[in-house]
Every structure is written in C-alpha cells, then in structure tokens.
C-alpha cells in the first residue's frame, strides 16, 4: 500500500490544504501526532483527519489540549491550546482522546516522539542507536522534532537519494561496522527518496506539515510505499499570507507567522 504520512499539523489548515492539492496515489493517511496547537484551525484539521479515517498516534499538544482543564495556563502555547479546546467539536475531541501512544501498521511502528518515550525528542545519533538496539521493527515513523530526516542502521546496503547526494546520485552503505552499531543520519528538508535494503532498518521523520523547523519553509509530508520499501519526502510551497490572515483575525501572536517564513 501507499501511505500519505503527515505529522505536527498544529492547526495549520492552509499547509494541509496545499498537501491535499498536490499528493496523489495514496491509499491511506497516517498521522504522527500534534494535530492541534499553534495555529487557529485545529478543529478543521482534526475534522479532516477524522473524515479520512486517518490512523494516528497521540502527540504532546494533543494530550495537553485534552487535559488543559487541569493545567495551569501559563504562556502563549497553553493559551492557544485553551482557546482551541473551547472551539473543538465534541466528535473531534473524542477522536483525539482515542489516539494511542504507539501504533503498528504493516509491521512499522508509529510514534510521536521516540519509541522509548512518546514525548521525548529523538534528535541525536546515540538516541537513534538506542532505539535500534531496543526495538525490532525495520521501519519506525516519528515526528515531534519538526525536522525531515532519516536515521539508518546500516546492517545491509541501502540506497539513499537526498539533498546531501543529489537526486540522481546514489550513496551505498554497508559493511560499516558491527550490527546496530553504525548509524547515520540523512537530512531530507528539500525532499528526496529512501529505498531501504531488505535487512536494513530506519527511523523516519517526514517533517512538520504545519511548522517546519529545518530552515525550509513549506508543508512537509511523505509517501511510504510498503511494497516497494521506499519513502519519498516532499515540501510544498503555499501562500503564507493565508495563515497571516487567520492569525490577524483571531489575534494570535505574529511570531507564529515569522516561524513559517523562516521555516524554523
């Protein structure tokens, strides 16, 4: 099957809408957490996830929104979540409340943060090595860092096509060291494709749909083809003025727009 994978949408409907206009040929939607937070259209984003029967996992902003009534509201992040919670439709709240912390799809593990802690940031080589050593899945998909990229445990030869090597150039790696000891990272902020060798393993972050932080503006998503053992990364440009208009209308802080302009 071919899966559309989105993560960290954060209530940014214009970003999600841009993806829906571009992405083609997928069979199911997978969602890696954080539908809500930051931008004004959380209810609309969750409505879409629910309408397409997206299979997903809980993110930190999702659980914070669900528990906002018992939290001390301090700072703009929680203030926005409290605002969104008041406007979230009951059926969308129910959808969020039923999200699991982890999910397996065709043998792949889905989680928001790390398989070892769903709320932890997975952003270092040593953390990735620990995950490889303590999990069994060949494919792990996660979000949370808002950085599009891949960790590879190079137990067998894998073909990597990404920004560091160019779309046409191929980099092969194998015989690189002891089993699960040699781990590398490949950045995919500008898109690219990973084709995973049969005995290799990978931890994949598609990047953030709603608020990228890898220095490349746009809406990030990925297409995973489970039959071809491949993942393609995409970054869609869209009119950020549409987000700015929504921020002005709802009196949201302008730094949210600035982050989108800078992509970080």
| R_g over Cα of the chain | 18
Q: Contact at 8 Å (CB) between 112 and 33?
A: yes
Q: Choose among 246, 239, 262, 204: nearest CA to 38.
A: 246
CATH class of 2-262: alpha beta
Q: What is the pLDDT of residues 54-80, one digit of tens each?
A: 999 999 999 999 999 999 999 999 999
Q: What percent of the chain has pLDDT over 70?
A: 90
**Residue 161 in this model has a pLDDT that exceeds 50:** yes
Model confidence band, residue 165 (pLDDT cutoffs 50, 70, 90): very low
Mean per-residue pLDDT over the chain, rounded: 91
Average pLDDT score over residue span 117-144: 97
Average the pLDDT over each of 7-21, 63-77, 153-167 and give the range with the smallest value: 153-167
Are 191 and 129 in contact by the 8 Å Cβ rule? The answer is no
Confidence at residue 131, expressed as pLDDT on a 0 to 100 scale: 97
Q: Is the pLDDT of residue 171 over 90?
A: no
Statement: residue 167 has pLDDT above 80: no
Q: Would you kindly state where each structural domain of the chain is located, as residue ranges? A: 2-262
Q: How far apart are CA 48 and CA 54, in angstroms?
A: 9
Q: What is the pTM of this model?
A: 0.90
pLDDT of residue 182: 85
Does 1 score more than 50 pLDDT? Answer: yes
CA distance 121 to 127: 9
Predicted pLDDT of residue 136: 94
Q: What pLDDT is recorded for position 177?
A: 35
């Amino acid at each position: 099957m071919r899966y559309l994978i989105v993560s960290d949408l954060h209530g940014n409907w214009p970003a999600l809408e841009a993806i829906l206009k571009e992405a083609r040929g997928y069979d199911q939607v997978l969602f890696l957490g954080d539908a809500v937070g930051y931008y004004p259209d959380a209810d609309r984003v969750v409505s879409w996830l629910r309408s397409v029967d997206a299979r997903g996992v809980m993110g930190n902003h999702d659980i914070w929104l669900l528990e906002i009534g018992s939290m001390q509201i301090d700072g703009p992040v929680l203030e926005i979540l409290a605002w969104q919670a008041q406007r979230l439709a009951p059926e969308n709240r129910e959808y969020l409340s039923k999200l699991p912390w982890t999910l397996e799809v065709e043998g792949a593990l889905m989680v928001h943060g790390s398989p070892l802690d769903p709320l932890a940031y997975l952003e270092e080589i040593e953390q990735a090595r620990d995950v490889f050593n303590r999990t069994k899945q060949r494919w792990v998909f996660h979000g949370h860092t808002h950085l599009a990229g891949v960790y590879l445990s190079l137990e067998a030869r894998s073909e990597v096509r990404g920004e560091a090597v160019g779309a046409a150039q191929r980099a092969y790696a194998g015989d690189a060291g002891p089993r699960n000891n040699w781990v590398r990272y490949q950045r995919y902020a500008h898109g690219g494709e990973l084709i995973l060798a049969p005995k290799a393993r990978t931890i994949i972050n598609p990047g953030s749909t709603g608020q990228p932080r890898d220095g490349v503006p746009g809406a990030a998503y990925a297409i995973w083809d489970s039959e071809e053992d491949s993942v393609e990364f995409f970054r869609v440009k869209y009119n950020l003025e549409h987000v700015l208009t929504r921020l002005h209308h709802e009196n949201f802080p302008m730094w949210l727009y600035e982050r989108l302009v800078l992509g970080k």
